[in-house]
Amino acid sequence: MNEPQPILTLNDVSVTYKRADRTKLTAVVGVDLTLNRGEILGLVGESGCGKSTLGKAAVGILPTSGGEILFNGTPVAPLSRSVRSRELLKLQLIFQDPYSSLNPRRKIGDQLIDGLVNYGVGAEEARENSAKLLERVGLSRSTLTKYTHQFSGGQRQRIAIARALTLQPEVIIADEPISALDASAQAQVANLLVELVQELGMSMIFISHDLSVVRQISDRTAVMYLGKMVEVANTHEIWDDPRHPYTKALIQAIPKPDGKGFLPLELPGDVPDPRTPPSGCRFHTRCPIAIAECSVLEPQMALTNNRLSSCLLNNELKEKRSENVV
């Protein structure tokens, strides 16, 4: 295999929200992550763990409070509320909720064409490009003259994908693009994304809380818990041999469609409030194998037997040989 070439790199990235009541919430805490050229990287974790926040920061529409993000070597940072530098146009986010990112009162064609015309493409060419994109995502040209309410959830998601593609991005961050869809529409949209990545030579971060689809389509998988990364590995390794107790719990909680009637395993407890995260290991309040030290010592991402995870039990066992990695 060729040496992986990083296209998007996050170094020690943190994102803090300042709420109206002046409390602060650090939704992403010291995350290191690399997306390689041509790769699909799955990002999974429970609701509220910071996946969308990380995605928005990674494309530069949300300011970071620490660390740096590099896209093709260029620092990613919001220039201002509405302006993004030209290089960053090659870095696109498909929003979690297509209802909120598409304007219900404007024709779909106009919304697609704007993206192009604003960047100097002639109106006629823009229209033709948009029609082609819609066809590419499996919709007819007549979609241009329609409004979003005339489409089903799966079709709207395709429109959102087409819009993200108008500026021929190199990297797409797809935030839960299939969660709201039913099984058959999920497969259609997931396939569309995989095909686009392969055909157009793009790279993609695929955010989802459903590990089973991530397993099928992504090359590597990153697992987050309460703002921190807990495990990153090749997808088949994570699945066959999860190293972090939270990753194990996630996998065991997936109900299997085998008709055998087994209930999936529960992970007791609720996700703690991120404003007051637990001390030590953030997972210790729910971890089935926690030991006393877990509530005091904060584990770091470290390599153990060539696998990257953040658990005291993994790290301590191999303390001597482990090396801290970025």
Partner 1 sequence: MALLEVNNLSVQLQTKTGFATAVDRLSFTLDTGEILGIAGESGSGKTMSALTLLGLLPQHAKVTGSAKFDGQELVGMTNKQWQQIRGKNIAMVFQDPMTSLHPMLSIKTQMTEHMITHLGITEKQALVDAEELLIDVRIPDPKKALSSYASQFSGGMRQRICIAMALACKPKLLLADEPSTALDVTVQAGILTLLNRLREEHHLSIIFITHDLGVLSSITDKLLVLYAGREVESGLTSTILQHPRHPYTQGLLDSLPQPDSKEKLLKSIAGFPPELGKQPIGCAFAERCKFAEPRCTGHEVQPTFAADDHKFYCAVDPFAFTESREVGA
Binding site for Mg ion (CB under 5 A): 51-52, 96
Residues lying near partner 1 in the complex (CB under 8 A) are found at: 40, 46-48, 152-155, 181-188, 190-191, 194-195, 209-213, 215-217, 239, 249-250, 253-268, 270-271
From ligand ATP, partner 1, ligand SF4, none, interface partner of 51 (C-beta below 5 to 8 A by class):
ligand ATP
Which residue, among 253, 286, 288, has the nearest Cα to 269 in the 3D structure?
A: 286
Residue 163 binds ligand SF4 (CB under 6 A): no
Q: Rounded to an integer, what distance in angstroms lies between the CA atom of residue 129 and that of residue 281? A: 50
Q: Which two tokens stand for residue 312?
A: 């005291």
* Closer of 169 and 177 to Mg ion (Cβ): 177
Residue 245 binds ligand SF4 (CB under 6 A): yes
Q: Rounded to an integer, what distance in angstroms lies between the CA atom of residue 291 and that of residue 297? A: 11
Residue 220 binds ligand SF4 (CB under 6 A): no
From partner 1, ligand ATP, Mg ion, none, interface partner of 2 (C-beta below 5 to 8 A by class):
none
Site string for ligand ATP, 156-195 (x = CB under 6 A): --------------------------x-------------
Residue 311 binds ligand SF4 (CB under 6 A): yes
Q: Rounded to an integer, what distance in angstroms lies between the CA atom of residue 32 and that of residue 326? A: 6
Closest approach of ligand ATP to the CB of residue 199, in Å = 28
Q: Give the one residue of 50, 60, 115, 154 binding ligand ATP; rule: CB under 6 A.
A: 50
Residue 312 binds ligand SF4 (CB under 6 A): yes
DSSP secondary structure string for all residues of 25-88? EEEEEEEEEEEETT-EEEEE--TTSSHHHHHHHHTTSS--SEEEEEETTEEP--SSSS---GGG
* Closer of 118 and 212 to partner 1 (Cβ): 212
The Cβ of residue 208 has, within 10 Å, a number of other Cβ atoms equal to: 24
Which residue, among 30, 56, 29, 45, has the nearest Cα to 223 in the 3D structure?
A: 45
Q: Which two tokens stand for residue 114?
A: 């704007």
Closest approach of ligand ATP to the CB of residue 208, in Å = 9
Report how far Cα 150 is from the mean position of its chain's Cα atoms: 28
Residue 100 binds ligand ATP (CB under 6 A): no
Residue 315 binds ligand ATP (CB under 6 A): no
Distances (CA, A) of 139 to 33, 113, 151, 183: 34, 16, 10, 19
SS3 320: coil
Site string for ligand SF4, 255-294 (x = CB under 6 A): --------------------------x-xx--x-xx---x
DSSP secondary structure string for all residues of 184-220? HHHHHHHHHHHHHHHHHT-EEEEE-S-HHHHHHH-SE
Binding site for ligand SF4 (CB under 6 A): 245, 281, 283-284, 287, 289-290, 294, 299, 311-313
Contact residues: ligand ATP, CB under 6 A: 17, 19, 25, 27, 45, 47-53, 96, 182, 209, 274
